[in-house]
Every structure is written in structure tokens, then in C-alpha cells.
Amino acid sequence: MAKYLLLKHYRGAPAAVNDVPMDQWTPEEISAHVTYMDDFAERLKETGEYVDSHALSPEGTFVRYDGEGRPPVTDGPFAETKDVIAGWMEIDVDTYERALELAGELSAAPGAGGEPIHEWLELRPFLSTAPTITE
């Protein structure tokens, strides 16, 4: 088993095929999309491959230490060019191929016109703990 993160981006990923902002869809298309996402997660729970998922607010701030006794420095909201994560789903699957298959399925969620969005998702393997047997 190996864990993977499926990352969805607000910005920073290549443009989707069906690239229409959600507020330009019809309410029915939004409902169809939400249902698809819920069903997808539900199916992974049934197969025992679902770990966790979360959506993130598009807003974020860069923060860093600015020396003893000084408040941290902040920078942001992010500039328009920066990569912005919209949310993630963590899955635990047997093979890389299975992870690819699931990411492809998620990317096919319906968007404007009820057509698949073909959105680019980022698939990132987790670094695992060290195995006991190494030889």
C-alpha cells in the first residue's frame, strides 16, 4: 500500500480542457459536480482506499520569522501568479497505476455543459516510513 495526495489547484496548474469558472455554470451543473465529487469519495471509502480530503480557502499568507522580539513578517494575499492549492484528497492504494486511474476519474468531474472538466490534478506520493526489512 502506498499513500498519494491528489492536489487540486485554484491557480498554477495548466488550463483544463473545459475551463469555465464555476460561477458561470448553471446551478444544476454545480449540483451535478458536487454529487460527482461526493460519490467519488464515497466509492473510495467503500473500497478502503479513502484516507482524508479537505478544501482550502483560496486566501493565504506567507509568514516568516523576523528575529527575536519582533512579530513575524507576513506577505500576501498571494500575488496573481502564485500557485494556489484548492484542496486535497489523500488516498491509500496498492499501486501507482491505481493512483493514476483514480486521479483521472476525479479529473473527469462534470463542469460547464455537463461535460468533463479534464482538469489537471497533481499526484504526489507520500514519503513512507522506513521498512523493517531492507535486505
Partner 1 sequence: MSSPVDEALLRSLTPGVLGILVRRGADFAAAEDAVQDALVEAVRGWPEDPPRDPKGWLVTVAWRKFLDATRADTARRRREGLVEEEPRPGPAPAVDDTLQLYFLCAHPSLTPSSAVALTLRAVGGLTTRQIAQAYLVPEATMAQRISRAKRTVSGVRFDRPGDVATVLRVLYLVFNEGYSGDVDLAAEAIRLTRRLAAVIDHPEVAGLLALMLLHHARRAGRTAPDGSLVPLAEQDRGRWDTELIAEGVEILQAALARDRLGEYQAQAAVAALHADAPTAEETDWVQIVEWYDELARLTDSPVVRLNRAVAVGEADGPRAGLAALADLTGSSPGPAAGGHGRRLPRATAAAAYLHERAGDLATAARLYADAAREAPNLPERDYLTRQAARLNTRRRG
Binding residues for partner 1, per CB under 8 A?
A: 21-27, 29-31, 34-35, 38, 55, 57-61, 74, 76-77
CA angle 79, 57, 21 (to 5 degrees): 75
CB nearer to partner 1: pick between 101 and 115: 115
- In Å, what is the CA distance from 52 to each residue of 3, 44, 87, 96? 11, 10, 11, 18
CB nearer to partner 1: pick between 5 and 111: 111
DSSP per residue, 78-103 = PPTTS-EEEEEEEEEES-HHHHHHHH
CB nearer to partner 1: pick between 17 and 63: 63
